[in-house]
Structure 1
Amino acid sequence: MEASFVYKKFDVDELESLFGKYDFKHGILSTVIGKNEELNDYLRGKLQRFIFLDETVKLPIAVQYETPETLGKDRLAAAVGANYLEPGKDLLVIDAGTAITYELIEASGTFLGGNISPGMTTRFKALNFYTKKLPLVTEQEEIPLIGTSTESAIQAGVVNGIVYEMDGYIEMLRIKYPNLLVFLTGGHSFYFERRLK
């Protein structure tokens, strides 16, 4: 069984709720905000096997990132997970959250690296914060190609810009990796899934 959830806040209460619904046996905790001993202790006590993903964990992929100590564990976990699901294939993992990350894993199981750009909400907030007159807007279901008001111009610029960015990476990487498989994950993955080529 597979399930995916997005939380604004994740703590022991949320874990207890999940353990009430699912019979977890094994788990890995990956975080970019630092170790939370309360969560770690809870998971160690509930799971048969628990791993906190840090730089000491042996990985099933080779990492060729020049600065592995700065590589976000979320990015690393995404690369490992994609390689586990589709071993022996060239992979691109796009994680659409606060930041949008792109991770490239070759069929040999080698993580080459990736790119980081601002996520959708981050872009909306930046336009509002760093300008004097642009309002803070949010995504809408229907986005025009060209905005006809300031609000729709921001929405179209941000959303379409992200779609063109994602499609552009996929298209350019498929030149070198014609059989590239793409994974889309993250809090805004469902929003962008139907908008991509």
Structure 2
Amino acid sequence: MLLIDAGNTFIKWARPNPDQAFSLESIAWRNFGAVRHHELAALEKAWQQIHDEMPIRRVLISNVAGQYLGNTLFEFLTALKPEPLKIEWFYSVPSLGGIKNTYLDYRKLGSDRFASMIGARALLPGKALIVVTAGTATTIDTLSPDGTFLGGMILPGLKLMAESLAQNTAQLPEIDQLNNGAASFANHTSGAILSGCLNAQAGAIERAVTAHLKQFSDVRCLLSGGAARYIAPSLSIPCRIIDNLVLIGLRTSSAEKTL
């Protein structure tokens, strides 16, 4: 099986082990890869290589990056020789993987958000959860201990927020500067922008946890996405970084459908 998470910046893929199991301490894939949109050509070679090693019989795709990218991925997959047995598209549904989808129109909940919540619940079943994906956008979603989706927040991602604030200045900060840490109160414009954006992201997450704690006494926070490692040090609450929650959710849902 091949799992694909097509996001707004990266296309990530993984091939699970036949008996794949997940825990907070152990998330290992048989094969894994990630490319940016402008590196799409690399996918054909990578997928053909793993297909040659062991034929892909089933593909499950979550795509939030538009029809053009979806069509391109479909073309790559159907070009594999011999062809995959089955290509499926993952969409949000009323209930799957232990998650009850209460979105006003369940179909409009992003497939990546839905898959991330399934993945989070697979790792921490029976817990009240805050599920954060810090990518192009930052999404913050809430789950009750019984898996009911209680709603969420969407805000600009860390990089998008910084670029938007600095677009009319000559002081555009580089997010990689955060590798060396960011002062809470900076003495130059670039650093002040980074600090402000980081604290805005952290503040939204902390407010979500605080609000969730009004209803549940034990709330766990899982943080995923490319900006997770930058945001996490600014949080004043416990939060666990888990890479590729979407792929974990895809694997969990695929196993349920197979039963």
> Structure 2-normalised TM-score?
0.64
> Cα deviation per residue 1:49-108 (whole Å; 9 max; x = unaligned)?
653112569623211111323221111111122122222221111000111001112121
Deviation, structure 1 residue 8: 2.0
- 1:32 and 2:60 are equivalent in the alignment: no
Distance in 2 (alpha carbons) for counterparts of 1:19 and 1:64: 39
> Cα deviation per residue 1:130-183 (whole Å; 9 max; x = unaligned)?
xx4362112222201101011111111111222222222223322322221211
- 1:116 and 2:154 are equivalent in the alignment: yes
In structure 2, the residue matched to 1:59 is 96
Structure 2 contact 142–150 (Cα < 8 Å) conserved: yes
Deviation, structure 1 residue 13: 2.8
Residues 34-183 of structure 1: matches in 2 within 5 Å?
Answer: 34-35=66-67, 36-40=70-74, 42-43=76-77, 50-55=87-92, 59-60=96-97, 61-129=99-167, 132-133=168-169, 135-139=171-175, 140=177, 141=179, 142-183=181-222
Distance in 2 (alpha carbons) for counterparts of 1:12 and 1:30: 19
CA root-mean-square deviation: 2.9
- 1:8 and 2:44 are equivalent in the alignment: no
Q: Please state whether the residue corresponding to 1:181 is helix, strand or coil.
A: strand
Structure 2 contact 129–144 (Cα < 8 Å) conserved: yes
Q: Between Structure 1 and Structure 2, how many residues are aligned?
A: 195
Higher strand share goes to which structure? 2
Greater shift, 100-109 or 19-28, is seen at 19-28
Gap regions ≥5 residues in structure 2: 1-27, 238-259
Distance in 1 (alpha carbons) for counterparts of 2:218 and 2:85: 38
Query: What percent of counterpart residues are identical?
Result: 25
Q: Aligned pair in 2 of structure 1 residues 116, 171: CA closer, same or farther (>3 Å)?
A: same
Distance in 1 (alpha carbons) for counterparts of 2:32 and 2:226: 10
Distance in 1 (alpha carbons) for counterparts of 2:76 and 2:95: 23
Distance in 1 (alpha carbons) for counterparts of 2:36 and 2:218: 36
Structure 1 contact 95–186 (Cα < 8 Å) conserved: yes
Structure 2 contact 166–193 (Cα < 8 Å) conserved: no
Gap regions ≥5 residues in structure 1: none
Q: Aligned pair in 2 of structure 1 residues 55, 180: CA closer, same or farther (>3 Å)?
A: closer
Structure 1 contact 127–134 (Cα < 8 Å) conserved: no
